[in-house]
Structure 1
Amino acid sequence: MQIYVWLLLPTVLLLPLGAWSGEIIGGRVAEPHSRPYMAFLSRETSTGPKMCGGFLVRKDFVLTAAHCAEGEITVFLGAHNISKWERSQQVIPARAKIPHPEYDEETDNNDIMLLQLRRKAKLTRWVKTIRLPCTDETVQPGKKCSVAGWGWTSADGEETSDILQEVDVVVMPEAACWSTPNGPDENYDPSTMLCAGDPDEGKNPSKGDSGGPLVCGRKAQGIVSCGFGNGTPLAVYTRVSTFIPWIHKTMKKLQP
């Protein structure tokens, strides 16, 4: 396995800035391995290597965003610094990609995907699953949550981080994403999306580390989906609780 890892790591190190699928703005370095559910997705696409985030929900399944489906995906678990090999890491190729059948790439609605791993992850102190919410569980506006990822740390894309970054955000009233400084967003659907950010301090995943979890308490309540651009300090997350029946049905169907 280590031979395979060392062959794969140069691909990660040589990625151009534009290949990163997200950014944590105004965040901080996460305590090493304090988020053992985090997954780093390396994607080999026809236009070059790209990346996304994700999170482990079962030993053999990672949850991420449907817009991360392009390319051959390799999953890094237990990573903190993705520019070097760490003994905590497990590297597992994806066996199958299952985007939600009603994902709409024009509106980003139903932006959720399950990755079935080629083999089960070994749960350790560095690699663990995260709890999911109950079906249709709600998160009240004002709730403080957090999001994490690897990637750009400045809005201009001039600074990057190989080390996991995290930032606190606040769940916003739906009206905040329906009507943004850039005008009303007709694509925002509160039944399948969550709105969160930090308008006061500008702390935000911006475009987000796509596919990473919005963690509220100890549950993954959202999946980083998209931002509004032009510096708007809000982002849209897929509302995980809406898709719990689909998640369980799909994982059961694909059991080995």
Structure 2
Amino acid sequence: MTLLESLHLNSLIIRVSLDFVQGRIVGGYTPSPNSIKYIVSLQSSKGQHFCGGSLVHKSWVLTAAHCNIGCMMVVAGDYTLGAYEGTEQYSKPLSLIPHPQYNRTTNNADIMLIKLSAPIELNRYMSLAPLPKQNAGLLAGRMCRVSGWGSTSHSGGLTPLTLRTVKLPIVSTSKCNSSNSFSGNITANMICAGSSTGGKDACKGDSGGPLVCDGCVYGLVSWGNGCGDSRFPGVYTAVSRFRRWIDQTIYSPYSRCLKSVGLFSRKD
């Protein structure tokens, strides 16, 4: 059995559950209300948060491809889930567009754009996420920040769920691909980030959320082996590898013609 197959059997690859997601940022802190103005919550038809995302255009959200459950609501301007704050905006997806090279088995190209049925108003609570240039790189050791909603413990969570953030250093691909870590399963389309001492990480429910470095969304929470394990950094989709695809999709003259009939749906 390969390492990748083992991770699948132990339900460690995909950090999202369609029944109930216990999202959490491990070892983080609570940022100031609405200080991360571009983050959005993806919620099921029952109002349960299951993934994060970033507003990259008033009508488009960037998230992970494995967050594709078909029926969802995008909530922008939120801070504490389950508590009405008057800053929230809601929009249903018109289309979900995973990257055409997305591979569920390897999680390569784990990136998706969501076209909204109604645009999000940009105001003091919501702004657009800055993105890196195509193929822009990051040096190992660069400190970044990942954000998401949920419990701060592995054993369970309290509601309402307040946004949390944790700072993490970038881990080199060679170290992340070493035999005592991910053994070669990290592709050029992925970034690793994690603490050498463990205890700090993104986890279930944080999928699709932003990893911000130098003020830009360089990564999307994608997969990992457990949460906060020093041997296994968190794995993120490298947004800079897909900047051209993002721009072409959003600004294509055909994007305004996308209909719900083009919806991709995952039911597994």
**Could you state the TM-score of these two structures normalised by the residue count of structure 2?**
0.82
* Shift in alpha-carbon separation, 1:169–1:230, aligned structure 2, 3 A: closer
**What is the identity, as a one-letter code, of the residue corresponding to 1:186?**
G
Equivalence for 1:32:
33
Pairing 1:152-231 to 2, within 5 Å after superposition: 152-158=151-157, 162-179=161-178, 181=180, 183-189=181-187, 191-207=188-204, 209-229=206-226, 231=228
- Distance in 1 (CA, whole Å) between partners of 2:18 and 2:66 is 19
* Shift in alpha-carbon separation, 1:164–1:17, aligned structure 2, 3 A: farther
Equivalence for 1:9:
none
Equivalence for 1:12:
none
* Shift in alpha-carbon separation, 1:88–1:160, aligned structure 2, 3 A: closer
Contact 1:212 1:223 in 2 (8 A): yes
Contact 1:153 1:160 in 2 (8 A): no
Give structure 1 stretches of 5+ with no counterpart. Answer: 1-15
**RMSD of aligned C-alpha atoms?**
2.3
- Distance in 2 (CA, whole Å) between partners of 1:44 and 1:169 is 33
Equivalence for 1:10:
none
CA drift at 1:208: 6.3
Pairing 1:1-256 to 2, within 5 Å after superposition: 19-20=20-21, 22-44=23-45, 51-158=50-157, 162-179=161-178, 181=180, 183-189=181-187, 191-207=188-204, 209-229=206-226, 231-233=228-230, 234-253=233-252, 254-255=255-256
Contact 1:153 1:161 in 2 (8 A): no
Could you give the per-residue CA deviations for residues 186-233 of structure 1, whole angstroms, max 9, x where no partner exists?
A: 3210x2000001122521114460000000121000000011127524
* Shift in alpha-carbon separation, 1:216–1:184, aligned structure 2, 3 A: closer
Q: Which moved more, 1:31-40 or 1:155-164?
A: 155-164
Contact 1:44 1:71 in 2 (8 A): no
Contact 1:21 1:52 in 2 (8 A): no
Contact 2:138 2:170 in 1 (8 A): yes
- Distance in 2 (CA, whole Å) between partners of 1:65 and 1:127 is 20
Equivalence for 2:7:
none
**What is the identity, as a one-letter code, of the residue corresponding to 1:108?**
N
* Shift in alpha-carbon separation, 1:232–1:161, aligned structure 2, 3 A: farther
* Shift in alpha-carbon separation, 1:33–1:49, aligned structure 2, 3 A: closer
Q: Which has the higher strand share?
A: 1
Q: 3-state SS of the aligned residue for 1:163?
A: strand
CA drift at 1:251: 0.8
- Distance in 1 (CA, whole Å) between partners of 2:223 and 2:160 is 20
Q: 3-state SS of the aligned residue for 2:45?
A: strand
Give structure 2 stretches of 5+ with no counterpart. Answer: 1-16, 258-268
CA drift at 1:75: 0.6
**What is the identity, as a one-letter code, of the residue corresponding to 2:212?**
V
Higher RCO (CA < 8 A, seq sep 6+): 2
**What is the identity, as a one-letter code, of the residue corresponding to 2:28?**
G
- Distance in 2 (CA, whole Å) between partners of 1:146 and 1:225 is 15
* Shift in alpha-carbon separation, 1:160–1:224, aligned structure 2, 3 A: farther
**What is the identity, as a one-letter code, of the residue corresponding to 1:124?**
N
Contact 2:50 2:205 in 1 (8 A): no
Q: 3-state SS of the aligned residue for 1:152?
A: coil
Contact 2:22 2:157 in 1 (8 A): no
- Distance in 2 (CA, whole Å) between partners of 1:21 and 1:109 is 24
CA drift at 1:43: 2.4
**Could you state the TM-score of these two structures normalised by the residue count of structure 1?**
0.86
